[in-house]
């Protein structure tokens, strides 16, 4: 049976920015946008996009202090600048351009994220994305873990005409797999297109799919222009997507199998019931998430 093009539901401009701590100036594409809501990009629950901005030099490392998570994974992708991470499981790391850190909060962890020390001193261009990936109910209380994924460990694809290259973080593209371990089927790619270059993607119809334009401008499915900092949100009709670069472009492509489970979020916790949220706060205040110095 011939596969058809995925329907483009909407192309979204970035919402007004807000601050996460004093170091992350972000636009929340979902779940705050009613069109997408809590389930529209499941298993991706949240996307905070830190569009390019010039960070002034500072002796103080800007960022967000110690805070808890339960029931999710946080995935941070760096495009410009450097981000440092510490958590109460003893994990730490620094990511720079093209790198990814994938933290599984699972049953509970404390962490903090901030501008890396030398980057903070010098200042410079900063651009990043943070995704929250919801965990299936059966894995909500899994032990915390941390995956540091430097760019050179990612799956690499290069088209025959050299106009399309891809870093595969999770899932599979053109038979090439990414290194990230996931709890449900997830595809996450960074794709670079030279002007007039094209890429095609194929995802199952029921999967939730979106493309964020990190840089440049593309033509989607030969019909819809999508520019830098815009997010294209797809429906469930069809499987294929075609992207053609109007100019040199970078795309963050995400698609995943929806969990189809109840979602009860509150603050930094994403669980399945109100009782589980209450228990998360009780455990946090009882010190069961470990200790991390602010």
List beta partners, residue 132. Answer: 46, 74
Per-domain residue ranges of the chain: 8-285
Question: 112: closest CA among 72, 150, 77, 62?
Answer: 62
End-to-end CA distance of the chain: 56
Q: What is the DSSP string of 109-162?
A: EEEEEEE-HHHHHH-EEEEEEEEEEEPPGGGTTPPPEEEEE-GGGSEEEE-TTS
Q: What is the pLDDT along the chain (294 residues), one digit of tens a residue?
A: 467 999 999 999 999 999 999 999 999 999 998 889 889 999 999 999 999 999 999 999 999 999 999 999 999 999 999 999 999 999 999 999 999 999 999 999 999 999 999 999 999 999 999 999 999 999 999 999 999 999 999 999 999 999 999 999 999 999 999 999 999 999 999 999 999 999 999 999 999 999 999 999 999 999 999 999 999 999 999 999 999 999 999 999 999 999 999 999 999 999 999 999 999 999 999 999 999 998
Buried (b) or exposed (e) across 182-218, using 16+ Cβ within 10 A?
Answer: bbebbbbbbbbbbeebbbebebeeebbbbbbbbbbbb
* DSSP annotation of 17: P
pLDDT reported for residue 34: 86
pLDDT reported for residue 154: 98
CATH of segment(s) 8-285: 2.60.120.10
pLDDT reported for residue 3: 78
pLDDT reported for residue 2: 61
Spatial separation of the C-alpha atoms in residues 195 and 215, rounded to whole Å: 12
């Amino acid at each position: 049976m011939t596969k058809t093009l995925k329907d483009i539901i909407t192309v979204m401009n970035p919402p007004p920015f807000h601050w996460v701590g004093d170091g992350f100036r972000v636009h929340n594409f979902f779940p705050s946008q009613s069109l997408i809501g809590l389930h529209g990009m499941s298993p991706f629950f949240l996307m905070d996009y830190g569009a390019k901005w010039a960070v002034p030099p500072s002796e103080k490392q800007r960022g967000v202090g110690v805070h808890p998570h339960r029931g999710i994974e946080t995935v941070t992708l760096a495009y410009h600048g450097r981000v440092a991470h510490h958590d109460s499981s003893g994990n730490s790391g620094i990511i720079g351009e093209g790198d990814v850190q994938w933290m599984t909060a699972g049953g509970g962890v404390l962490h903090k994220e901030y501008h890396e020390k030398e980057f903070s001193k010098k200042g410079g261009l900063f651009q990043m994305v943070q995704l929250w990936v919801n965990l299936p109910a059966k894995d909500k209380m899994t032990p915390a873990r941390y995956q540091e994924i430097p760019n050179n460990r990612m799956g690499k694809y290069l088209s025959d005409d050299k106009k399309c290259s891809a870093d595969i973080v999770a899932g599979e593209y053109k038979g090439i797999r990414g290194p990230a371990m996931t709890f449900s089927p997830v595809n996450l790619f960074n794709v670079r297109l030279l002007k007039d270059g094209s890429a095609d993607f194929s995802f199952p119809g029921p999967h939730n799919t979106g493309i964020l334009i990190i840089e440049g401008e593309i033509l989607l499915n030969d019909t819809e222009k999508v520019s830098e900092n815009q997010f294209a949100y797809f429906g469930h009709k069809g499987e294929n997507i075609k992207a053609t670069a109007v100019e040199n472009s970078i795309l963050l492509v995400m698609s995943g199998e929806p969990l189809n489970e109840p979602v009860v979020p509150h603050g930094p916790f994403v669980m399945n019931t109100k009782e589980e949220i209450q228990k998360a706060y009780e455990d946090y205040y009882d010190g069961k998430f470990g200790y991390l110095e602010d």
